[in-house]
Amino acid sequence: MALPKLAPAQPAHDKLRALGIIALNGMFDEMDALGVLRYAASDVLPGDLAIVSSFGADSAVLLHLVAQVDPSLPVYFLETGKHFTETLDYVEALKKHLGLINVQAIYPNQADVERFDPAGTLWETDPDSCCHIRKTEPLEPITEQFGGWVTGRKRFQTVERGVLPHFELTSDDRIKVNPLAYFSDADVNRYKIEHGLPEHPLFAKGYKSIGCAPCTSVVAEGEDPRAGRWRGLNKKECGIHFDFNGAIASPMTAPATRHTLWKNGGFIADPFHAWAEGDEPTGASYKHVPLPVFLANREAILANPHPLGLLVAPGDRIEDVEADLHRFASVAIQFPGFTDGRGYSTARLLSQRYQYANEIRAIGDVLQDQIPLMRRCGINAFVVTHEPTRQALIENRLPEVNIFYQPVGTAEIPVGTRPFLRRVS
Amino acid sequence: MYRYDEFDEAFVAGRTAQFTDQINRRLSGELSEDQFRPLRLMNGLYLQLHAYMLRIAVPYGTLSSRQMRKLAHIARTYDRGYGHFTTRQNIQFNWPKLKDVPAILRELGSVEMHSIQTSGNCIRNTTTDQFAGAAADEIIDPRPVAEIIRQWSSLHPEFSYLPRKFKIAMTGSPNDRAAIRFHDIGLQAATNAAGDIGWEVWVGGGLGRTPMIGKLINSFVPNEHLLAYLESIMRVYNRYGRRDNKFKARIKILVHEEGLETIKGQVEAEFAEVRGGVLTLPQEEVDRITAYFAPPQFTPQPATKIDVAYQSIIDPAYGRWLDNNINSHREPGYASVTISLKPIGGAPGDATAQQMDDVADIAERYAFDELRVTHEQNLVLPHVAVADLRAVYDALLATGLAEGNTGLITDMICCPGLDFCALANARSIPIAQEISRTFAEPKRQAEIGDLKIKISGCINACGHHHVGHIGILGVEKKGGELYQITLGGDATQQAAVGKIIGPGFEAEKLPKAIETLVDTYIAKRESADETFIQAYRRLGEAPFKEALYGTA
């Protein structure tokens, strides 16, 4: 048995980093799994975070969280060549169900496979080495690209994982994020049911933890769910969760483009493009012309035969273009920060005082909490990039108080004989 | 009092559900703190030095016993057994847990209360005279209009993301007890030549780092057009108020920089467009709301005359209370009672859960179930039969709230200061406590008479120091706390901003400095009838300055 190596003296930087991790874990005591993952993706490691998923029995939970935070987060799947066909089907099924648009497969280095496992039976004679060439090695170049990665590990799974925190620092100075660390077996099952997540096809057949086909067996009722992994061997981890090193990633599908214009109850293709510096007022088409540009080039733009919109920035005076509003197919009101409320006044003037009946869209920092107010002010289209807001719109669950004290316009009708102040949408 | 109907209930329940969802999204991390901040502020939830602080709206300062008991229950269950009444006639709890806030809001909803718009860059609780509907000098009761403004401004879709917070105060009496000239909009009841009731509208007043006295923008807006006029002001402010600098974002700066005439022109142009539109108040709606504020069923009282001089001899504490804490009532045989939340050496505006329960009992038994919160951080029983005053006094005495010091030097306004507030530069509660102890002697207080001391722990002036006859401002100097003294401020219809008199004092030297000012006043006053502020106006700052700092 090898003696533990003496750790080299830690540079101050590393100590700070380690302390940072402790602080992170402290901060997230009160947060749930979604909070941990969201904070990791947006604040700790923005653009620098990947997920490795086995697409096993419990993977749907983590992947569902990923889809809520950002469906374009990279998700890597170790295509060891030894998976059940059911697992490969499940990869496709989950991608579709959750709307994940950036799932990539990682394959072992073919030369290594031919050299160390020519007969394909290495799992039988030396499972550690099999895991090494099929998982640990191929994963290394991927992990090198990212400052951190997300795992679906849970404390309950093995004794060694019993102290698993939300955030860990690996020996190669990367952060491992474990949003499900505190999930129990029951939590996992409840979550799957609550969110209607599709089951791995083998789960119903008694497989509670699913890895490569040769090293996975059915577990009995009441048995540790991971007991079916490497059954009979003193092996609980495949190697990638100790530390890692190793090969080649190839995208299985190209990332899909997504629509950002919400109108009439759905995300639709936006015919308009952003006005760019140097665009010609005379020839522009399907652009929102900034209001000052319109004022400076009024004749030219009125003579322009193409469909155009008008871009109104917070300081712009909509009354200056009142007479020409009919020229525009769309007015885009800019909300540069969601605390800047000038656009609400612009929208009311536009829709109520000037009776502008075409599209009035909000662009910029559009969040779900603002949309109900924007609607009441007459805005009828929204360009939304904030993922939770997109989800809220799709699922029709905007946080809204839908009865109103004050009349703001004509679209709201009095309820029964209630006094004038009261309207309901 | 106003009572919720199904609509109001549904509205508050809807808002509570909405805010609960926002909290859950914060707990799940879907909302960043940056995104959550304006949402939580709009529902009265602050992040203070040590914990969250929840500020609960007490619309125009009126409370029923049931509501007061609920506040006591919240203090006991979710906080540390006390609450703090504020200068905006609200109450705040300093130690709630974020996860408990939805439960607190549901409890509040069950007694027709909420924390909607008690902070954030939106229209805040409309404040008014604590003696509204009771005072002998009142032209009209401002509460029905205050309630209409509350409804109109609640979750207003256009005015929820203003450049900065917006405060409206109103009074129905010529004697301004609501400091209307120091609010973004101040409304003073007025009548025109035809005898119609309307409102004088003052705009651009405020305290903070740039104190300004409000300016008269319209001397008579008919009641039915008041909302249209307010909306006109709000729209001009929302569109043109400064957003580049938080410290210059209040409407007072817009009015100051653009000039009253320019703003008035814009407001009147807007008013011309919206006047007569959907915001015109139908008389039947005004009547419907007004009916809620009908006076209680007063019973004819036997002519009761209390011989205060006699009482003062046999029970001096009761005599002082009669002298200072009783306000004349429009109904013969009745009086309004101020319950001082300024016990000697206490934290101004604080009340324990037990005290809240006791006050609720007293209000139920002797005061038609009604309570008020004053902007000077006291409570009021608006309608008490004179014959019951002794019983009320005894009950207050039993719960430690019988201090007879209303309007006297120990009746101070004081902000929470560095003991709680994340903005503060200096402590203010301990300063108030020390001054209170310095002048504890009742004879001394009586000799000094009316004198308003107001203390703020930073330039944001939540303690209204600019309008204290003596104002105290805590500042940070070279790592220590220093207290600047201003003199001559006045929050009433004789509005004035106090002037800084000289270099600041260290905390331990401050009570002595205040004593020096008071001694100077007593030595120089023409008679005991000349109050501190009157003497200051006559004498100017010179004698006070000389007493404090010596001759130049």
When pLDDT is cut at 50, 70 and 90, the band that residue A67 belongs to is very high
Per-residue confidence in pLDDT tens, chain B, 552 aa: 899 988 889 899 999 999 999 999 888 888 888 888 888 988 999 887 777 899 999 999 999 999 999 999 999 999 999 999 999 999 999 889 888 999 999 999 999 999 999 999 999 999 999 999 999 999 899 999 999 999 999 999 999 999 999 999 999 999 999 999 999 999 999 999 998 999 999 999 999 999 999 999 999 999 999 999 999 999 999 999 999 999 999 999 999 999 999 999 999 999 999 999 888 888 888 999 999 999 999 999 887 788 989 999 999 999 999 999 999 999 999 999 999 999 999 999 999 999 999 999 999 999 999 999 999 999 999 999 999 999 999 999 999 999 999 999 999 999 989 888 888 899 999 999 999 999 999 999 999 999 999 999 999 999 999 999 999 999 988 888 999 999 999 999 999 999 999 999 999 999 999 999 999 999 999 999 999 999 999 999 999 999 999 876
Q: State whether A34 and A91 are in the same domain.
A: yes
- Looking up tokens 């002036």, which residue turns up? B461
Segments making up each domain of chain B, as ranges? 6-109, 135-290, 413-549
- Of the ranges A147-161, A170-184, A276-290, B387-401, the best mean pLDDT one: B387-401
Contact A425, A412 (CB under 8 A): yes
Beta-carbon separation of A400 and B18 below 8 A: yes
- Looking at CA atoms only, how far is residue A310 from chain B in angstroms? 19
Of the residues B7, B24, B117, the best mutation for testing chain A's interface (the one with the most A CB atoms within 10 Å of its CB) is B7
B32: contact with A, CB 8 A cutoff: yes
**Largest CA-CA distance found in chain A, in angstroms, rounded:** 87
Instruction: Report pLDDT for A172.
Output: 72
Report CA-CA distances (Å) from B81 to A327, B78, B84, B357, B402. Answer: 63, 8, 11, 12, 20
Give the end of a domain, one of A198, A216, A251.
Answer: A251
B431, two tokens: 């300063």
Instruction: Report pLDDT for B31.
Output: 83
Residues in chain B: 552
The minimal CB distance from A339 to the residues B121, B148, B239 is found for B121
Q: State whether A420 and A272 are in the same domain.
A: yes
Instruction: Report pLDDT for A14.
Output: 61
| The one-letter amino acid at A311 | L
C-alpha span between A36 and A34 (Å, rounded)? 5
Report CA-CA distances (Å) from B79 to A151, A286, B40, B73, B260. Answer: 39, 57, 18, 9, 45
Give the end of a domain, one of A220, A251, A282.
Answer: A251
C-alpha span between B151 and B5 (Å, rounded)? 13
Q: State whether A220 and A306 are in the same domain.
A: no
> Is A130 a known active-site residue?
no
Element at B360 (helix H, strand E): helix B353-366
B200, two tokens: 């004088």
The CATH architecture of the domain made up of B6-109 is Alpha-Beta Complex (3.90)
> Considering its fold, how many domains does chain A have in total?
2
Q: State whether A69 and A172 are in the same domain.
A: yes
Instruction: Report pLDDT for A246.
Output: 26
Q: Residues of B with CB below 8 A from A400's CB?
A: 14, 18
In the DSSP assignment, the letter for residue B295 is P
Beta-carbon separation of B243 and A408 below 8 A: no
Residue A71 Rama label (left phi>0; alpha psi -120 to 50; beta): alpha
Instruction: Report pLDDT for A245.
Output: 25
Beta-carbon separation of B288 and A373 below 8 A: no
| The one-letter amino acid at B146 | A
Q: State whether A246 and A269 are in the same domain.
A: no
Mean pLDDT of chain A: 80
Q: Which domain holds residue A212?
A: 12-251
| The one-letter amino acid at A341 | G
Summarize pLDDT for A361-416 with one digit per residue, the tens. Answer: 999 988 888 999 999 999 999 999 888 889 889 988 887 888 888 888 755 554 43
C-alpha span between B129 and A48 (Å, rounded)? 58
Instruction: Report pLDDT for A385.
Output: 86
Instruction: Pick the closest to residue A287 from A256, A309, A266 (CA basis).
Output: A309
C-alpha span between B504 and B496 (Å, rounded)? 21
When pLDDT is cut at 50, 70 and 90, the band that residue A4 belongs to is very low
Report the first-to-last Cα separation within chain B, whole angstroms: 57
Q: Indicate whether A336 belongs to any domain.
A: yes
User: CATH class for domain B413-549?
Assistant: alpha beta
CATH number of A388's domain:
3.40.50
Please name the residues in contact with A377: beta carbons below 8 A apart, sequence gap of 6 or more.
Answer: A344, A347, A348, A351, A408, B157, B158
CATH number of A205's domain:
3.40.50.620
Q: State whether A270 and A290 are in the same domain.
A: yes
Q: State whether A184 and A135 are in the same domain.
A: yes
B439, two tokens: 């002048």
| The one-letter amino acid at A380 | N
Instruction: Report pLDDT for A402.
Output: 80
Q: Indicate whether A7 belongs to any domain.
A: no
A13, two tokens: 């930087």
A339: contact with B, CB 8 A cutoff: yes
DSSP codes, B78-91? HSSSEEEE-TTS-E
Q: State whether A242 and A316 are in the same domain.
A: no
Summarize pLDDT for A301-350 with one digit per residue, the tens. Answer: 999 988 899 999 999 999 999 999 999 999 999 999 888 999 999 999 99
Instruction: Pick the closest to residue B503 from B540, B545, B469 (CA basis).
Output: B545
- If you measure CA to CA, which chain B residue comes closest to A347? B158
Q: Indicate whether A1 belongs to any domain.
A: no
Looking at chain A from residue 33 to 92, which residues have their Cβ under 8 Å from any Cβ of chain B? 34-39, 42-43
**Largest CA-CA distance found in chain B, in angstroms, rounded:** 68
B11: contact with A, CB 8 A cutoff: yes
| The one-letter amino acid at A338 | F
Instruction: Report pLDDT for A44.
Output: 82
Torsion of CA B543, B545, B550, B552, to 10 degrees: -100
Report CA-CA distances (Å) from B84 to A348, B117, B123. Answer: 39, 18, 22
Looking at chain B from residue 118 to 137, which residues have their Cβ under 8 Å from any Cβ of chain A? 121
Q: Do domains B6-109 and B413-549 have the same CATH topology?
A: no
- Looking at CA atoms only, how far is residue B29 from chain A in angstroms? 4
Q: State whether A89 and A141 are in the same domain.
A: yes
Beta-carbon separation of B30 and A408 below 8 A: no
User: Which of A80-89, A224-233, B167-176, B437-446 shows the lowest per-residue confidence on average (mean pLDDT)?
Assistant: A224-233
B79, two tokens: 């906080």
Give the end of a domain, one of A251, A272, A305.
Answer: A251
Q: Indicate whether A51 belongs to any domain.
A: yes
DSSP codes, B241-256? S--S-GGG-SHHHHHH
Torsion of CA B389, B391, B393, B397, to 10 degrees: 180
Q: State whether A297 and A219 are in the same domain.
A: no
Instruction: Pick the closest to residue B247 from B215, B207, B216, B203 (CA basis).
Output: B207
Q: Indicate whether A3 belongs to any domain.
A: no
Residue B502: exposed, middle, or buried by beta-carbon count in 10 A (0-12, 13-18, 19+)? middle
Q: With a cut of 80, say whether residue A2 has pLDDT above it.
A: no
C-alpha span between B67 and B73 (Å, rounded)? 10
Residue B413: phi, psi to the nearest 5? -90, 140
Q: Output the CA angle B422-B426-B432, nearest 5 degrees.
A: 115
What residues are paired with A50 via a beta bridge? A149
Q: Is the ipTM of this complex over 0.85?
A: yes
Please name the residues in contact with B310: beta carbons below 8 A apart, sequence gap of 6 or more.
Answer: none
**3-state DSSP of chain A:** CCCCCCCCCCCHHHHHHHHHHHHHHHHHHHCCHHHHHHHHHHHHCCCCEEEEECCCCCHHHHHHHHHHHCCCCCEEEECCCCCCHHHHHHHHHHHHHHCCCCEEEEECCHHHHHHHCCCCCHHHHCHHHHHHHHHHHHHHHHHHHCCEEECCCCCCCCHHHHHCCCEEECCCCCEEECCCCCCCHHHHHHHHHHCCCCCCCCHHHCCCCCCCHHHECCCCCCCCHHHHECCCCCCCCCCCCCCCCCCEEEECCCCCCCCCEEECCEEECCCCECCCCCCCCCCCCCEEEEHHHHHHCHHHHHHCCCCEEEEECCCCCHHHHHHHHHHCCEEEEEECCCCCCHHHHHHHHHHHHCCCCCEEEEEECCCCCCHHHHHHCCCCEEECCCHHHHHHHHCCCCCCCCEECCCCCCCCEECCCCCCCCEEC
Residue A327: phi, psi to the nearest 5? -70, -25
Q: Residues of A with CB below 8 A from B156's CB?
A: 406
Q: Indicate whether A135 belongs to any domain.
A: yes
Contact A363, A333 (CB under 8 A): yes
Task: Collapse the DSSP code of B499 into the 3-class scheme (helix H, G, I; strand E, B; otherwise coil) and give the result.
Answer: strand
Catalytic residue among A212, A215, A238, A377: A238
Of the residues A24, A322, A340, A345, the best mutation for testing chain B's interface (the one with the most B CB atoms within 10 Å of its CB) is A345
CATH code that applies to domain B135-290: 3.30.413.10
Q: State whether A141 and A99 are in the same domain.
A: yes
Residue B299 Rama label (left phi>0; alpha psi -120 to 50; beta): beta
Q: Within 10 Å of residue A250's Cβ, how many Cβ atoms?
A: 9
The minimal CB distance from B157 to the residues A344, A367, A420 is found for A344
The C-alpha R_g of chain A, in whole angstroms, comes to: 28
Q: Residues of A with CB below 8 A from B21's CB?
A: 399
Q: Indicate whether A280 belongs to any domain.
A: yes
Q: Indicate whether A6 belongs to any domain.
A: no
Q: With a cut of 60, say whether residue A351 has pLDDT above it.
A: yes
Contact B16, B155 (CB under 8 A): no
> Region A229-235: what's the mean pLDDT?
58
**Strands A403-404 and A423-424: what pairing?**
antiparallel
When pLDDT is cut at 50, 70 and 90, the band that residue A80 belongs to is confident
Q: Within 10 Å of residue B522's Cβ, how many Cβ atoms?
A: 15
When pLDDT is cut at 50, 70 and 90, the band that residue A256 belongs to is very low
Of the residues B22, B161, B245, the best mutation for testing chain A's interface (the one with the most A CB atoms within 10 Å of its CB) is B161
Report CA-CA distances (Å) from B528 to B131, B260, B449, B531. Answer: 27, 41, 8, 7
Contact A98, A71 (CB under 8 A): yes
The minimal CB distance from B14 to the residues A36, A367, A401 is found for A401
| The one-letter amino acid at A384 | V
| Comparison of pLDDT for A172 and B343, the residue scoring more | B343
Task: Collapse the DSSP code of B534 into the 3-class scheme (helix H, G, I; strand E, B; otherwise coil) and give the result.
Answer: helix
